[in-house]
A = this chain, B = another copy of it.
Amino acid sequence: MWPPPFTTTAGTVRCGTEDKKSIRILSGDIVYAESPEKLTVLEQHYLIVRHGLVETICSVVPEEYKGIEVEEYGRNLIIPAFSDLHVHASQYAQRGVGMDLLLSDWLNQYTFPQEAKFADPDYAKQNYDAFVEDLIRHGTFHVNAFATIHRQAADYLFGRLEEKGLYAYVGKVNMDCHSPSYLIETTNKSLKETEKFLDEHQQAAGHVRSIIVPRFAPTCSEALLKGLGKLAARYQVGVHTHLVESKWEAAEALRLFPGYHSDAEIYERNGLMDNGPSVFAHVIFPTDEDIRILKKHRSIAVHCPDATANIIAGIMPLASMADSGIRIAAGSDIAGGHGIAVYRQIARAVQLSKLKELYEPEVGRTITLARAFYHATKEGGSLFGKVGSFEEGYHFNALVIRNMEDPWRRLSPGEQLERFCYTGDDRDILARYLDGEKIECP
């Protein structure tokens, strides 16, 4: 497994008076998913955080922590913050519009003209500021984002995420062919600008890292991908792109890359999967060869249910891919997906899995809320290191969700989490913790 990029300096200090300042204790109904099989539910427990990391969860506060004030959340839920592993930060401005179209028309009529506006730093700033605020509002603290081809705007996004303390990968988009002239760079410029972007952020001190982003094979020449592969080796970075996202895209990729046998091979043979994590969005129509390559590189396949219903018309074979050992994460795919809330994608993943089973029983199987939650927290979070769970040593990046019961009917904490994923919104998030610190909602 690719080593997680964010290490921690937390040690094993014991509980002297001085050290107590670095400890937090929260009480409430604690819910997280260590595995896709089931939720871990600890009602009325204490979660102890030291130096921003989960130390332990217990039903009674041990003697050594006595004297530390407990943040009491009563019968509210404490859950891990969400990870969004595929989102176009630049498309935030077009969320929920143009949804009558399918991929190719949607790109040409809405998305490409909209992305072209990121040549204007002021437009980019307004969009990216609002995007980052909305991430925090909805409890997404770990994000893998496309910017646009515009390096300076991508730099701004990188800095903004860093400033807010979020965990992120950001990529400047690369496209040098088969795209409108107003949203294209020459092969050489695309490589030079990517090099500058990687160079600029190589020493980043926060939780944000660079990643290489070819838009997808249909908009990249082989020369561009080869050049990006060399940069990946030099800067030791990974790749984030779309893979077999629609029948159109899968066919177009192979038509334009005649010597290749699968969409994944295009990235593998050009050296983009050897030097860092490889994250592929959608993966709706994978061939056996795609699956083999993804497994070999421990790639992450990102399920973006709303987007695949909106602009792609297809459903990821999630269950069979998970069975074959591929890592699965959740993505909002703003703005193919219309909403930034990852918890909604958890509900939608369950819905689509039922339709997949109905229509393609050979690869489809209904998944549970627990599994979808696991993908959206711990498994997606694995891209960023130890986030997305409350096991010992995990970063305490967490949300407090209000008790979702009606006054006249009790619900278990698991049912409340389910109700939040299906019907909740940002008003239901009572508190947000990032690296153990309580942060304000923008």
Residues of A at under 8 Å CB distance from B?
93-100, 102, 114, 122-123, 126-127, 130, 306, 309-310, 313-315, 338-339, 347, 350-352, 354-355, 357-359, 366, 368-369, 404, 406-409, 411, 415, 418-423, 425
Q: Which residue of B lies closest to A127 (CB)?
A: B408
Question: Is there an interface contact between A93 and B406, defined as CB atoms closer than 8 Å?
Answer: yes
- Taken together as a complex, chains A and B put the C-alpha atoms of A408 and B366 apart, in Å, by 41
Copies of this chain: 2
Distance from A319 Cβ to chain B, minimum over Cβ atoms (Å): 14
- Residues of chain B within 8 A of A418, CB atoms compared: 96-100
Assess A408 versus B123: contact at CB under 8 Å? Given A339-B422, A357-B313.
yes
Distance from A368 Cβ to chain B, minimum over Cβ atoms (Å): 5
**From DSSP, what is the main secondary structure of chain A's interface residues?**
helix
Distance from A95 Cβ to chain B, minimum over Cβ atoms (Å): 6
- Residues of chain B within 8 A of A415, CB atoms compared: 97-98
Assess A354 versus B313: contact at CB under 8 Å? Given A97-B411, A126-B408, A406-B93.
yes
- Residues of chain B within 8 A of A93, CB atoms compared: 406, 408-409
Instruction: Give 8 pairs: A residue, B residue, CB < 8 Å, sorted on A.
Output: A96-B418, A96-B423, A97-B411, A100-B369, A126-B407, A127-B409, A310-B354, A338-B419
Q: Which residue of B lies closest to A364 (CB)?
A: B313
Query: Which of these, B94, B130, B352, contacts A309 with CB under 8 Å?
Result: B352
Question: Is there an interface contact between A354 and B96, defined as CB atoms closer than 8 Å?
Answer: no
- Residues of chain B within 8 A of A338, CB atoms compared: 347, 419, 422-423
- Residues of chain B within 8 A of A357, CB atoms compared: 313
Q: Which 9 A-B pairs have the closest CB atoms?
A: A96-B422, A96-B419, A338-B422, A309-B351, A126-B408, A313-B354, A96-B423, A97-B415, A313-B358
Question: Is there an interface contact between A99 and B309, defined as CB atoms closer than 8 Å?
Answer: no
- Taken together as a complex, chains A and B put the C-alpha atoms of A338 and B423 apart, in Å, by 7
- Taken together as a complex, chains A and B put the C-alpha atoms of A127 and B309 apart, in Å, by 33
- Taken together as a complex, chains A and B put the C-alpha atoms of A357 and B312 apart, in Å, by 12
Distance from A307 Cβ to chain B, minimum over Cβ atoms (Å): 10
Distance from A330 Cβ to chain B, minimum over Cβ atoms (Å): 17
